[in-house]
Amino acid sequence: MAEPFIPFALPEIGEEEIAEVVDSLRSGWVTTGPKARRFEQDFAAFLGDPALHCVAVNSATAGLHLALEALGIGPGDEVITTTHTFTATAEVVRYMGADVKLVDIDPATLNIDPAAVQAAVGPRTKAIMPVHYAGLAADMGAIGDIARQHGLHVVEDAAHALPTTQGGRLVGTLDSAATVFSFYANKTITTGEGGMLVTRDAALAKRAQVMRLHGMNRDAFDRFTAKVPSWYYEIVAPGFKYNLTDIAASLGLHQLKKAHAFQARRAEIAARYDAGLRGLPVITPPTGPAGDMHAWHLYVLRLADGAPLGRDALIEGLFAAGIGCSVHYIPLHLQPYWRERYALQPAQFPHSQHAYERMLSLPLYTRMTNADVDRVIATLHRLLA
């Protein structure tokens, strides 16, 4: 009998989340309401900085878009980000009519290379968007120095980075204009679909709150729960439909309580992979500086030179053995839209290109058993012997 398939990712949803969703359904308040507000408050408390404003949205893409809009990014402007990311990081810049400047990664960390950022700054540059790849923090000290030197905004794509730390500080509490988290189904905590924009800038937060729901100057929750007639609202801008529902927030309220336990289990799985894959022709992921926390959203393995199989053949072998995996990412410079718009060539991004050709992401989720992990390791030994 064939062994059961090990998927690439599975969320861990407990009875607490299910009960909270049922409570929302029974309450009659299923869109943005009291639980979305509680989730924002709980998220600020989790980050531990009373100066932070948290704005719940229906995706990290929405949060990044709202951050750029609030910062006034527009036509003629340029935003620097990494080529080694999902398209959402860059596409929000185009939503604003601005241009993207893609740069290469550090070959050791796979995060955006600060030296490449510095070289890319030009007269049209208005912002830098680092991505904390796989759950390891980018070099925010160096990026912050570049931003201050040139008067640029920093918006962190922290889709992979809850709860990541740098210098002992949680991502989300660093010195950036805004940080945006993702709660997509395969992220470190999930609301199914969802995200959170975090900022210390009260004006930026207020603009995001208005723009996330059609540019209305009052939330539906405030209008529909008032004890006196309060039907009146004004449209102050052409906003978007980016609000997080109470059903989704119901999941987030309990997932957030488990974030550190989830991270601990992910770190255990990563350490088990590290130990079990020693001696194979592979490069295991960087763990980050001592004392800092890696969120371990992804475990990205790279084939070393001289490996007996190429990346694609290895993925096929894993799937044939009933093991799911993925590739993070096909770099933007290889994607038709970005390649053609900016006339990009792989030679411009040698580190990203080299990593992409050799990388795959192994299964990593809290519901994996040690036996599951050991089976992945044993299969890799067999395929790479």
One-letter amino acid identity for 40? Answer: E
What is the rounded CA–CA span in Å between residue 270 and residue 367?
A: 14
pLDDT lower than 70: segments of the chain: 1, 219-229
Q: Is the dihedral of CA 155, 161, 162, 166 positive or negative?
A: negative
CA distances for 258 relative to 158, 166, 190, 264, 367, angstroms: 18, 21, 11, 10, 13
> Catalytic residue at 187?
yes
pLDDT of residue 225: 59
pLDDT of residue 233: 86
> Do residues 144 and 169 lie in contact, with contact meaning Cβ atoms separated by under 8 Å?
no
pLDDT of residue 221: 57
Task: Give the closest residue to 338 by CA, choosing from 119, 83, 141.
Answer: 83
Task: Give the closest residue to 108 by CA, choosing from 271, 281, 283.
Answer: 283
What is the rounded CA–CA span in Å between residue 308 and residue 7?
A: 25
pLDDT of residue 127: 99
Backbone angles phi, psi at 257, to 5 degrees: -65, -25
What is the rounded CA–CA span in Å between residue 101 and residue 146?
A: 15
Backbone angles phi, psi at 112, to 5 degrees: -55, 135
pLDDT of residue 226: 57
- Check whether the bond before 242 is cis (ω within 30° of 0): no
One-letter amino acid identity for 279? Answer: G
CA distances for 224 relative to 28, 234, 236, 293, angstroms: 12, 15, 19, 42
Task: Give the closest residue to 195 by CA, choosing from 36, 53, 57, 87.
Answer: 57
Tokens of 170: 């949680």
The HSE-up count of residue 75 (CA atoms within 13 Å, CB side) is: 0
Please, what are the domains in the chain?
A: 15-257 (3.40.640.10), 259-384 (3.90.1150.10)
> Do residues 137 and 163 lie in contact, with contact meaning Cβ atoms separated by under 8 Å?
no
What is the rounded CA–CA span in Å between residue 177 and residue 127?
A: 10
Strand blocks (E) in 178-332: 178-182, 195-199, 282-283, 299-303
Catalytic residue selected from 35, 126, 187, 227: 187
Place of tokens 């022709």: 281
**Is residue 342 exposed (0-12), middle (13-18) or buried (19+ Cβ within 10 Å)?**
middle
DSSP for 130-198, written as a single string:
-B-GGGPPP-HHHHHHHHHHHT-EEEEEETT-TT-EETTEETTSSSSSEEEEE-BTTSSS--BS-EEEE
